[in-house]
Amino acid sequence: QTNRDAGTQMPKSGVYIPTLDDVIAIPEPYFSSADLAALHLEKAVVIQCHARGMFARKRARQLRSERMARNEFLEQQAEKRRLESELRHKREIERRMHPKTYEDFEVLYSELEAWRQNETMRIKESGFDEETKHGALRQLLHKETKLLQTIDRLKISAHGHNRDAKIKKMLEAMSKPRVWAQQDGETTTVHTPFTTRAKELMDLYNGL
């Protein structure tokens, strides 16, 4: 009896051949090299489609991220400009309501002069008679005088405020302790009798 892997054995009386692992092989249609090349091309196209889709999705995510970052930057810049505009507007209002410097009062005087000229031109170009025009000019002069008096009161108030601020600044500078540099790079803070006395005078001045 030959080996099973090397030959065949037909069933017969006295010989048992198990058939549990037998497989019935049915031949497929012939697959030529041209068919194999076409299959390779088809699968390559599928792989390319998936790869290009992956690259496109990655690029789309990058563009969306850049767009979001740009929109956020533009919103921040717009908010910054809005805040700066509001701050500048509040500062201009504060300069006109509570002027403190020479430039603030120059702005008030220039705006008052521009207002006076515009009102004078409007009155002169109106179609009223001379008596009415003179009455309007007198009222305009009265308003201008009132505004000039208001500006003068603001100037007196600002002068007192600036003087107090200057005195406080000078007292603070005089009352600061002396700082001495050492050879090792450290500094030493020393209160002298003059700085101590200046501190006492500053406290008395602030308490007035």
> In the numeric block, which tokens belong to residue 28?
């497929």
- pLDDT at position 53: 95
Which residue's entry shows tokens 């170009």? 125
- pLDDT at position 4: 54
Assessment of whether the complete model's pTM goes beyond 0.75: no
| pLDDT tens-digit series, residues 113-122 | 898 889 888 8
Q: How far is 167 from 159, CA to CA, in rounded Å?
A: 12
DSSP 103-116: HHHHHHHHHHHHHH
> In the numeric block, which tokens belong to residue 168?
């406080």
| pLDDT tens-digit series, residues 83-127 | 999 998 888 888 888 888 888 888 888 888 898 889 888 888 877
**Residue burial 41-54, b: 16+ Cβ < 10 Å; e: rest:** eeeeeeeeeeeeee
- pLDDT at position 174: 80
